[in-house]
Amino acid sequence: MNRDDLIDLNAFVAVAEEGSFTRAATRLGTSQPALSNTLRRLEARLGVRLLTRTTRSVTLTPAGEEFLQGLKPAFDAIDLSLGAIGSLRKSPKGKIRITAPRHAAVSLLWPMLGSFVKDYPDIEVDVNIDAAARDLAGDRFDAGIRLGELVAQNMVAVRIGPDLRLAIVASPGYVAQHGVPATPHDLVQHSCINFRLPASGEFYAWQFKREEQDVKVRVSGQLSFNDPDMILAAALDGHGIACLIEDHAQAMIRDGRLVRFLEDWCPLFPGYHIYYQTQKNNSAAFRILIDRLRFRSRQSERKPPQ
């Protein structure tokens, strides 16, 4: 296989994974017309159509699907080899792509990244803010950040933050007009601000526990959001009761802009973990990033079963 063959095959894999000539061209650092010509040249040389092109999308033909499945193990092996040789450099180099919800990115990832990129100028970090769980392999992420209880069992999960707790809050104005619920069951009599789960599109069921009693409540109200910042803003404006991660609302609780209740029904739960596939991440750059993020006072790492 000559150099041009490798370039053409890499171009095909990029288009197949991105589902777009524009995104693939950006990823490869080339132009869309040049990339399109490369793919036409590859199809002509192979004598088979690999892609179906429309004005809005690019999809794989059955032959293209089969071709991609054959190529991916080889390109994954190349990635592993590049990571291994990169680990021998005195100054680690590489690009790391991470997907994380906004709260984790702001509270845990960003405080570390400022010093990290100064210490390792040859390492690039690409952070995608997304509350929904992403397919790491399919979307070409090196790692993701999620709450510990949400990480799939087949992933390596490294704790990067402390245990968390929910806070049930409302503005003083709402409390003065409507009172506060004495138990979680009383929430159904109140106007609550719903959180729509990004992955499923369903409303989050508020979960409580006290001693051995578990309670799950489906709340209702005029407003719902898929973003905690909007829920916080609505609660501050007196539109209802909100369920938020404690530290997200802590400053407003402390200065009296929010009133907290049902605190004894909100136990601790596992905090954020960074997760990844063992076979995909052995570069020195990635290992250094994980070590920087690792939660020091309560280290926890889960490996998939052998």
Of the candidates 36, 55, 86, which is a domain's last residue?
A: 86
Residue 253 CA to residue 246 CA, distance in Å, equals 9
Residue 248 CA to residue 231 CA, distance in Å, equals 11
**CA 99 distance to own-chain centroid:** 3
Least confident of 48-57, 163-172, 212-221, 280-289: 280-289
One domain, residues 171 and 255: yes
Q: What CATH number does residue 20 fall under? A: 1.10.10.10
Once rounded to an integer, what is the mean pLDDT over residues 55-71?
A: 86
Kind of pairing, strands 166-170 and 213-217? Answer: unpaired
One domain, residues 124 and 198: no
Identify whether the C-beta of residue 99 lies closer than 8 Å to the C-beta of residue 126: no
- C-alpha pair distances (Å), 91 with each of 87, 246, 284, 287: 9, 39, 9, 13
63 part of a folded domain: yes
Least confident of 2-16, 86-100, 171-185, 242-256: 86-100
One domain, residues 23 and 65: yes
One domain, residues 60 and 146: no
36 part of a folded domain: yes
Least confident of 9-23, 103-117, 213-227, 279-293: 279-293
161 part of a folded domain: no
One domain, residues 49 and 102: no
pLDDT tens per residue, range 89-104:
556 788 899 999 999 9
Least confident of 28-37, 98-107, 167-176: 28-37
Q: Which residue has the higher pLDDT, 157 or 241?
A: 241
Residue 1 CA to residue 243 CA, distance in Å, equals 58
pLDDT tens per residue, range 171-218:
999 999 999 999 999 999 999 999 998 777 889 999 999 988 999 999
- Identity of residue 245: I
Q: What CATH number does residue 204 fall under? A: 3.40.190.10
Of the candidates 53, 86, 119, which is a domain's last residue?
A: 86
One domain, residues 278 and 143: yes
One domain, residues 15 and 79: yes
One domain, residues 177 and 260: yes
Residue 264, pLDDT > 50, answer: yes
> By residue range, what is the domain housing residue 218?
166-265
What phi and psi values does residue 98 have, to the nearest 5 degrees? Answer: -130, 140
One domain, residues 102 and 239: no
Number of domains in the chain: 3
175 part of a folded domain: yes
**CA 172 distance to own-chain centroid:** 34
One domain, residues 53 and 117: no
One domain, residues 278 and 261: no
pTM reported for the whole predicted model: 0.65
